[in-house]
């Protein structure tokens, strides 16, 4: 999986209520949620985002309540991947389950600036900052997680596995 887009950088300890405030949880429609992505930080934040842009976050991104709506909102806003220093554990799992890949880069996140253009190879773990020339390497996505993402998330993955199992009968 190769991703290329403009960076929208946010700070540390951004919780799920900042990603998608509770007042917008009346739907699970990705488009509707995406229209309000990051409204807990800035109401019109998402208006700067174009399809394919990349969210870059500081430490502990996605902390707070377990809310599948948060990764759905990010995907609905058109951002197909998130790079971060570190992620809250439940957000990490929810993201992959919903089909949103996360790349954890630790302190190397400081090499990336808001507005930079990135190219990410999730299979190799190589992130190239096309603006400043920095190259960051992180662990590539494990094969099991890549398979879930290739199916659009956990529901799609399980559905495909059940179809395969039923064909074998």
Instruction: Tell me the pLDDT tens digit for each residue of 113-155.
Output: 999 999 999 999 999 999 999 999 999 888 888 999 999 999 9
Q: In this predicted structure, what is the pLDDT of residue 165? A: 85
CA 13 and chain centroid, separation: 15
Instruction: Note whether residue 162 is domain-resident.
Output: no
pTM more than 0.85: yes
Instruction: Tell me the pLDDT tens digit for each residue of 80-107.
Output: 999 999 999 999 999 999 999 999 999 9
Looking at residue 33, what DSSP letter applies? H
Report the percentage of the chain scoring pLDDT > 90: 87
Per DSSP, the three-state class of 65 is coil
Instruction: Note whether residue 151 is domain-resident.
Output: no
Instruction: Note whether residue 146 is domain-resident.
Output: no
Instruction: Note whether residue 10 is domain-resident.
Output: yes
Q: What is the CA radius of gyration of the chain?
A: 16
Q: In this predicted structure, what is the pLDDT of residue 46? A: 96
Q: How many domains does the chain have?
A: 1
Residue 169 pLDDT exceeds 90:
no
Instruction: Note whether residue 125 is domain-resident.
Output: yes
Looking at residue 12, what DSSP letter applies? S
Instruction: Note whether residue 67 is domain-resident.
Output: yes
Tokens of 119: 């190219």
Average pLDDT over residues 66-91: 96
Tokens of 120: 């990410």
Tokens of 100: 């949103």
Alpha helices, DSSP H, located in 2-153: 16-19, 30-34, 69-76, 89-98, 143-150
Residue 168 pLDDT exceeds 80:
no
Q: Is the dihedral of CA 38, 42, 43, 46 positive or negative?
A: negative
| Mean pLDDT of the residues in the chain | 95
Q: Give CA–CA dist 62/110, Å, rounded.
A: 18
How many Å from the N-terminal Cα to the C-terminal Cα in the chain? 33
Instruction: Note whether residue 159 is domain-resident.
Output: no
Instruction: Note whether residue 13 is domain-resident.
Output: yes
Residue 68 pLDDT exceeds 70:
yes
Residue 76 pLDDT exceeds 80:
yes
Question: Tokens 């395969």 label which residue?
Answer: 164
Cβ neighbors of 47 (< 8 A, separation 6 or more) are none
Return the CATH number at 116.
Answer: 3.20.19.10
Average pLDDT over residues 30-52: 96
In terms of residue numbers, what domain contains 17?
A: 2-141
């Amino acid at each position: 999986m190769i991703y290329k887009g403009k960076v929208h950088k946010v700070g540390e300890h951004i919780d799920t209520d900042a990603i998608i405030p509770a007042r917008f949880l009346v739907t699970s429609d990705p488009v509707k949620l995406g229209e309000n992505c990051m409204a807990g930080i800035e109401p019109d934040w998402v208006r700067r985002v174009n399809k394919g842009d990349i969210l870059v976050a500081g430490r502990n991104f996605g902390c707070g309540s377990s809310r599948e709506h948060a990764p759905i909102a990010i995907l609905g806003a058109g951002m197909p991947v998130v790079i971060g220093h570190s992620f809250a554990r439940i957000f990490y799992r929810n993201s992959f389950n919903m089909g949103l890949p996360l790349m954890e880069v630790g302190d190397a996140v400081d090499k990336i600036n808001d507005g930079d253009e990135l190219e990410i190879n999730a299979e190799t773990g190589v992130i190239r900052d096309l603006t400043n020339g920095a190259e960051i390497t992180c662990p590539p996505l494990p094969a099991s997680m890549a398979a879930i993402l290739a199916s659009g998330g956990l529901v799609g993955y399980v559905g495909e596995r059940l179809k395969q199992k039923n064909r074998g009968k």
